[in-house]
Amino acid sequence: MAQPGAVEDGHLAEALDWTESLGVDCRIPVRPDFGEPGAVEDLLNQRGYRRTACLTMFVRGSAPPDLPVSPGIEVEELTEECEGFSDFIAAGYGMEWTGLGFFIGLPGRRDWRSYMAIDDEGAIASATMMRHHEVAQLGFAGTEEAARGRGAHLALLRRRIVDAFTGGAREIFAVTEEPLGYPDGKSTGARNLVRAGFRLASVRTVWQPPEELLADQDEEEDELEDDEFDEDGLDDDHDFELS
């Protein structure tokens, strides 16, 4: 919500009306130092939206990081679809299976680089990076829950920074979602970025729809599922029977 006139000209209200009509659980980042942050927050408050997190951006040059090699973990770059790659990322972001489609096609895709972290028992984590001219963005990453704390994220972070440097990037940035108490509380990903030489560049407050709106959406979905099929498991819009 950094565009000047977003509130005064009614654009934000129109966007909220549209997303609410679709039943979308959206995220609205608000920059405190640009555009109309006060007016944006007033409108969001009036409509019952709530602060839920902070969206932070970290940046650094592309020089190789002063990070140790994670013992017992190897990082491989993927050039084609690989089993498990998308599962780690989707789980890391708490996404349902419907979100897997986007990640599955990333290995080998133009401007994207995809990686898998492997220990002696097999794959345990995956991550992505996107290149645009001389800038690289560290993208999605996720680690198997049972393998967290073993250094997989650091290994993937180190490899991506090194590859960005050797590939000609001059700058690297990453975006993380942090607790509302940031910087007093940092995610593991943010702590690893700082450890790898990244510095904080910006912080935006993230807003979400009111809980009662989301509850209404869940009830509508449940009603739709109950009404869509009859006792025989056939769509109500059809009168045929299976033999």
Q: Residue 35: what pLDDT?
A: 63
Q: Which of 21-25, 33-37, 63-67, 198-202 shows the lowest per-residue confidence on average (mean pLDDT)?
A: 33-37
Q: What is the pLDDT of residues 77-122, one digit of tens each?
A: 998 887 778 888 877 666 665 566 677 778 888 899 999 999 998 9
Q: What is the pLDDT of residue 98?
A: 56
Which pLDDT score, from 0 to 100, does residue 27 have?
87
pLDDT for 32: 78
pLDDT of res. 34: 67
Average pLDDT over residues 61-70: 89
**The predicted structure's pLDDT at residue 1:** 52
Q: Per residue in 136-194, pLDDT tens?
A: 999 989 888 888 888 999 999 999 999 999 999 999 999 998 988 777 778 888 999 99
Choose among 119, 114, 117: nearest CA to 103: 114
Q: For position 2, what pLDDT does the model report?
A: 54
Q: What is the pLDDT of residues 181-236, one digit of tens each?
A: 777 778 888 999 999 999 999 999 999 998 887 665 555 555 545 554 444 443 44
Q: Residue 237: pLDDT above 90?
A: no
Q: Which of 22-31, 119-128, 213-222 has the lowest mean pLDDT?
A: 213-222
Q: In angstroms, rounded to a whole number, what is the distance separating the alpha carbons of residues 97 and 1?
A: 30
Distance CA 217, CA 23 (A): 6
Sheet holding 171-178, edge to edge: 28-30, 199-208, 50-61, 171-178, 135-143, 122-132, 112-119, 74-78
Alpha-carbon separation of residue 100 from 85, 87, 94, 104, 140 (angstroms): 10, 7, 11, 6, 12
Flag whether pLDDT at 18 surpasses 50. Answer: yes
